Amino acid sequence: MATPRSKAGTKGVPRQHRQQQILAAATEEFGTRGYAAASLAAVADRVGVTKTLLHQYFGTKEDLYLACLVPVGDRLLDTIRTAMGGGGATAHTPLRVLQSIFTALEGRREAWFVLYDTSVPAGGAAARRAAEYWSAIDDLAADGTADLLRAAGSGDPLDADALMYVWRDLVATLVRWWIKHPDQSPEAMTRRCARLFAAAALAPGPAGPPEPLG
């Protein structure tokens, strides 16, 4: 959803409100164009302030990206932890996690791409902070998938590792699909995922070697 140009640069606007407007516009700019292509001039123009004021409030482009990244990363980490509970994953946990992600991103869906932006320069503070969030989310995924496999009777660590990779890519794919379909609410998307999971559960288990094709 495009952020309309505001009059944030006019006198009398509280500093905190102006900062929030800048962060909203910057999150959209970074999320839709990526760090490398994002323009601070476009952010300033969208909010109705000068680039000078932008720098005064947030410093460099990397500083502004970090200011957008941290609330996104914190919010997603918190919502995933809450959805997982703490008593071990159950069959309902994956759907709860997805619902929590959709809900946390609603109204600012492009924030997903702020967190998972591969165009951020390697070696800098922004890349390190993003990697910390990726690692923490992967750790949660690893714990959850291992719990699910143990409940199903599998203690194979390679099964757990493989499933963690599958889950991570599945979440990213579903979120990307959802972003491309803005008419889908978090609730509708959760119901869709439930139907997809139910359909996938109809697949037969590993009773023996696969039948030859043809």
> What confidence score (pLDDT) does residue 8 get?
42
Nearest to 61 by CA among 42, 86, 88: 42
Structure tokens at 59: 């410093």
SS3 for 118? Answer: coil
| DSSP code, position 208 | S
pTM, to two decimals: 0.85
pLDDT at 1 over 50: no
SS3 string, 42-109, reads HHHHHHCCCHHHHHHHHCCHHHHHHHHHHHHHHHHHHHHHHHHCCCCCCCCHHHHHHHHHHHHHCCCC
Q: How confident is the model at residue 205 (pLDDT cuts 50, 70, 90)?
A: low
pLDDT in tens, 80-91: 999 998 767 788
Nearest to 80 by CA among 102, 63, 58: 102
| DSSP code, position 2 | P
pLDDT in tens, 154-168: 888 999 999 999 999
pLDDT at 6 over 50: no
Structure tokens at 140: 């949660």
DSSP string for residues in 119-180: TSPTTSHHHHHHHHHHHHHHHHHHHHHHHHHHHTT---HHHHHHHHHHHHHHHHHHHHHHHT
